[in-house]
Every structure is written in C-alpha cells, then in structure tokens.
Amino acid sequence: MGKNNVFIAMKILFLGFFFIFFFFPLITVILKVLESDFSSFLSVLISNQKLIWNSFFQAGVSTFFCLLIGIPAAFIVARRNFKGKKFIKALSLIPFVFPSILIVISFVIVFGNNGWINHFLKNVFGLKEHIQFLYGFSGIILAHTFYNFPLVMRFVSDAWEKLDITMKESAKSLGADKFQVFWNVTLRQLMPSIIASASLVFIFCFMSFAIVITLGGIQFSTLETEIYRQITRNINFSLGAFLALFQFIVLGLIGLIYFYFSKKFQIKEKAVLEQPKKINFFEKAFLLILVCFILLPIIALIVFSFFNQGTGEISFKAFEKIFFSGNTNLLGTTALSSIGFSLIIALIASVIASLMGLIASLKQTKISLINVFVASSLAVSVITLAFGYLIGLKSGNLLIIALGHSILAFPFSFRVINNALNKIDEESLDSAKTLGANELEVFKEVQFPRIKNALMVSLSFCFAVSLGELGFILVLYDGIYATMPVYIYRLLGTFDLVAASAMGLILILISFIAFYAIEIYSKNEQVF
C-alpha cells in the first residue's frame, strides 16, 4: 500500500489546499457578481472606463520603460565580461526582497518635493520651486520602472547567455550584416524571454497596490486600489466584486501568456556558446547609472534612519522612537510585535508554499490542471484574493494570513522546484527503478539530493515575498496581526518619515538575509 498511497495523499492534499484557500475565495467573489445580471456587469465596466484605462495605461507605460532599460542591461550582462557581474545579476531579485512600501519611503526621501534631488537642484542651480518628480503618474512610472526592470534584465540575460551561435554564424556566412543577424536571428531567439518578462512586469504593475495608493492619489486610482477602497471604506462588496472579477480575467489571460513563453525560453544546455567580450566605456557608464539608480533609495533609508537631519550627526533617535516611545495607541501595535508577526507569517507561508510547489512538481503527483493553478495564482491580485478571504472565510487570523501569503508565493516556488526537477536526467531515474527502487525511494535517493538547493531557494524566496506583503493584511486587518509593512504604512499615515525609515531599514535587513540565502543556494537554479 504504502508507497503509492503517499503520493495519492499528497495529490489530495494539494487539491484540497488549492480548493479551500484559492478557488473557494475566488468563487465567493464570483458569486457576488452573479447576484446581479450580466447587464449590471457591463454597466459597471462602462461607468469605470477611466479606472480601467488608468490600470492598462500605467501598466503598459511602466512595462515599456522596463523593457527600454532592461534589454540593454541584459545585453551587457550576457555578452560582456566585467567584475561584479554576479552582483548586477543579483539585483534582479530586488522586486522580491525590497518590499514595495519601502520603495515609497525611499523615493519620497530622494525624489520628493523636499527630497535630495530637489535640494540639490535648488542649491546648485538656484531653482526657487521644487520639480514634481514623484507624485502622480510620473511617480508611479518611476517607482514601477525601478522595481521591475531588473526582471527584464534577468529573463533576457539568462536567455541571451545560452544562445547557440550556430544560426548566427550561418547567417553571417550567407552575407548578413550585424543588424540583419540581430533582427532576423538573435531577436527572434530572444523574443520568448522578452514576451515572458514583459507579461510578468505588466501583471505586477497592473496589480500594484502600495506604490499606486501612496504616490498616485485618487485621480490615478487603478482597479487594484479601487477594489480596496470599495470593500474597506465604502463597504460596497458588489462593486468590489465586479471590478475584481474583471481584473482577474485580464490578468489570467496575461498570466497564460507568461506561462507559455516562460516555458519556451527555459534555459537548456547548448553545444556552442558565444564567448563574452570586454566591456567598453559607454557600457560601464550605463551600468553605473543603473546601479546608482537601484542603490540610491537603499542608501537613502540608511542615511535617514541613522543621521539627524538637523545636525547631520549619527543618531539612534529614530530607533529609540519606534521601540521605546510607547506609540501603541496611535499605530495599533508595537515595533517588536510587528517584527514577530512578520517573521511567523513569512515562515509558515514559505514552508507551505514550498511544500505545495514540491508536490505540484513531482512526476508522481502531476496534476493535469497544474498550469491553470500556476497561471491563476500568479494572475490573481492580492486585493482580490484577500477580498475572497474576507467574504468567504470570514477570518483574518495569523494562520489564514499565512495561508494566503503561501498562495501568492506558490507560483515562484513551483517554478524554482520544477525547473530543478526537470534538470535531472531520465537515465538516473530509470537506473534507480531498474535496481528495484520504488517511486518513494527514487525521490529520497535520487531526486531529493539534487533539489535540496532549489528547496532552500524556494523557502528563502517565498519568505521574502511574504515579508513585504501589505495589501493582503490591510484588507483582513483585525487590529491584532499588524506586520512590519502595516506598521510602516501607519507611520507614513502620521507623516513620520524618520521612524518609518528606521522600521523600513529593519525590514530590508531581514529581507536581504533571505536575499543572501537565495544567492548562496541558487547557483544554477532558475528562479523564474
């Protein structure tokens, strides 16, 4: 009995988990829509045309700028030799280890009306009025570009590094010039990775919450922020459900595009690889600007947390304030409890997400609809899923929040573990079976030892994703389980940027521990 029944039980566990904590919440949202007729659905969409346009437009423009920066960066990383290449590639994990609420804080410090850049322009060029960099549409695009261009760089550079030069050399031998070779050969080979990265960036920007709600304001509301406003402030569950269903359909279709093209560009070993060339001055300058663009917000958090803005001296007053000022009544929690809740939720979420990713990836537990699960969980917005939990599960306790986070992290866990399992050659598995090993023994003796690093990457990755999540908890927040992002969000609401920076620095330090673990264990693991 035993051996086969273990895998059957795992398959049942996976299906039950996804039904209860993913499909059931979404079904409750759909049922809210079905309470009205189809004409009501259409009228809601028509009356919210500006909202829908804002969502598509800001996501489309953000994706364009991410491609504009990410593809040249990918070329340099893939085709040039230089010191620090691993560090540059590591920056591609920024969107997951740098929580979006921290983007808001650091961008206010650097690009705000009274930020560093405006101070510099006033002092050096004598400008009397500040320049509006941050708030409104331009601020959303700036933050989204910072946050997501590393994804394009990672996708495309990984594909570019592994291109077989046979076709390229054949085109040259037939008289094609450099432009023709690039346009007709290289670009076509890279197109799956470009489309996959663009679709993923579009999804992330379309359902961006913290950046849009803090930098955009009401006039730049998107579907994601409006769903939150309707279900938490206006208590209009019907309208929230209409908008959530439409958003899920849109993102589900784009999620399928991502999944299809990400499989087409999965990295495989090639027989003939082109050797990278020496980096030139202009390429170095481009990379330097990108590194400064990425590191400046992080540096801003450190400076704002440790330096007295009046005297310029090193100070720990910001940390004293958040840990010893007794501002529980104002913020609804303490700094220590918010750190504790964040760590507990992230730990539970990472373990569950990695377990489900492993079950979904094993050949013995393969589920025919797994692609639907992955695409759906990738495409569902945080606010929509939280809305389903609110009306379906009617609970926002610590375990429910952690389970919700595990759903959000699942697609990345699955990709990491599945890619690692796919690298194991069939001969090794067949040899073990020939020697009498059953499926469970094959997993223990052959598969598990070869995917240990991938499991650690999955745990670290999912931990970082959960740690920085804000929207899910804001919807379900019952006044008890306030995590670090919630604590920072409330500090920003009191306009205490210094204290928010101090807590933000603690959050990013914990996130970068996960980031460091990913870099240690990832090696050749394909994260996306």
Tens of pLDDT along 101-136? Answer: 888 888 888 888 888 888 888 888 888 788 888 888
Q: What is the 3-state secondary structure (H, E, C) of 414-443?
A: HHHHHHHHHCCCHHHHHHHHHCCCCHHHHH
On the question of pLDDT at 156 being above 70, the answer is yes
Task: Give the pLDDT score at 1.
Answer: 46
CA atoms 489, 491, 497, 500: torsion sign: negative
On the question of pLDDT at 403 being above 80, the answer is yes
On the question of pLDDT at 368 being above 80, the answer is no
- pLDDT bracket for residue 291 (50, 70, 90): confident
Quote the tokens at residue 271.
Answer: 């027989």
Q: How far apart are CA 67 and CA 44, in angstroms?
A: 33
Task: Give the pLDDT score at 272.
Answer: 67
| pLDDT tens-digit map of 207-252 | 998 899 888 877 888 999 999 999 888 888 888 888 998 998 899 8
Question: Which residues are 324's β-sheet partners?
Answer: none
Task: Give the pLDDT score at 53.
Answer: 94
- CA-CA distances (angstroms) from residue 245 to 23, 130, 248, 251? 13, 41, 5, 10
| pLDDT tens-digit map of 438-476 | 777 778 888 888 888 889 889 988 998 899 888 898 888
Q: Residue 275 has what DSSP assignment?
A: P
Nearest to 34 by CA among 245, 197, 350: 245
Q: Residue 307 has what DSSP assignment?
A: B
Q: Give per-residue burial for 507-519: e unless 16+ CB within 10 Å, then b.
A: bbebbbebbebbb
Sort 298 into a burial class: Cβ within 10 Å, 0-12 / 13-18 / 19+: middle
Angle (CA) 424-425-431 rounded to 5° is: 110
Q: How far apart are CA 495 and CA 383, in angstroms?
A: 25
Q: To which residue do tokens 């992230």 refer? A: 346
User: What residues does each domain of the chain span?
Assistant: 1-35+323-528, 37-68+91-265+281-306
Task: Give the pLDDT score at 511.
Answer: 81
Contacts of 432 (CB under 8 A, 6+ apart): 441, 442, 445, 446
| pLDDT tens-digit map of 127-139 | 878 888 888 898 9
- pLDDT bracket for residue 525 (50, 70, 90): low
Q: How far apart are CA 45 and CA 413, in angstroms?
A: 34
Q: Indicate the helix (H) or strand (E) that contains 81.
A: strand 80-81
Nearest to 345 by CA among 453, 470, 455, 519: 470
Class for the domain spanning 1-35+323-528: mainly alpha
CA 478 to centroid of chain Cα atoms: 25
CA 485 to centroid of chain Cα atoms: 15
On the question of pLDDT at 348 being above 80, the answer is yes
Q: What is the percentage of the chain residues whose pLDDT exceeds 70?
A: 91
What's the whole-number mean pLDDT along residues 348-354?
Answer: 96
Task: Give the pLDDT score at 331.
Answer: 56
- pLDDT bracket for residue 164 (50, 70, 90): confident
Question: Which residues are 277's β-sheet partners?
Answer: 80
| pLDDT tens-digit map of 196-208 | 999 999 999 999 9
Q: How far apart are CA 337 and CA 327, in angstroms?
A: 13
Question: Which residues are 164's β-sheet partners?
Answer: 273
Question: Which residues are 80's β-sheet partners?
Answer: 277
| pLDDT tens-digit map of 299-314 | 888 888 887 766 667 8
What's the whole-number mean pLDDT along residues 259-282?
Answer: 72
Task: Give the pLDDT score at 222.
Answer: 93
What's the whole-number mean pLDDT along residues 54-75?
Answer: 96
Q: Are 526 and 267 in contact (CB under 8 A)?
A: yes
What's the whole-number mean pLDDT along residues 407-424?
Answer: 88
Q: How far apart are CA 225 and CA 49, in angstroms?
A: 15
Other C-beta atoms within 10 Å of 162: how many?
18
Q: How far apart are CA 321 and CA 348, in angstroms?
A: 30
Task: Give the pLDDT score at 172.
Answer: 77
CA-only gyration radius of the chain, Å: 24
Sort 485 into a burial class: Cβ within 10 Å, 0-12 / 13-18 / 19+: buried
Equal fold, 1-35+323-528 vs 37-68+91-265+281-306: yes
Nearest to 526 by CA among 80, 196, 207: 196
Sort 415 into a burial class: Cβ within 10 Å, 0-12 / 13-18 / 19+: buried
Task: Give the pLDDT score at 267.
Answer: 52
| pLDDT tens-digit map of 12-36 | 999 999 999 999 999 998 888 877 7
On the question of pLDDT at 69 being above 90, the answer is yes
On the question of pLDDT at 298 being above 90, the answer is no
Q: How far apart are CA 450 and CA 473, in angstroms?
A: 36
- CA-CA distances (angstroms) from residue 414 to 32, 195, 256, 422? 31, 20, 15, 12
What CATH architecture is 37-68+91-265+281-306? Orthogonal Bundle (1.10)
What's the whole-number mean pLDDT along residues 164-182?
Answer: 78
- pLDDT bracket for residue 329 (50, 70, 90): low
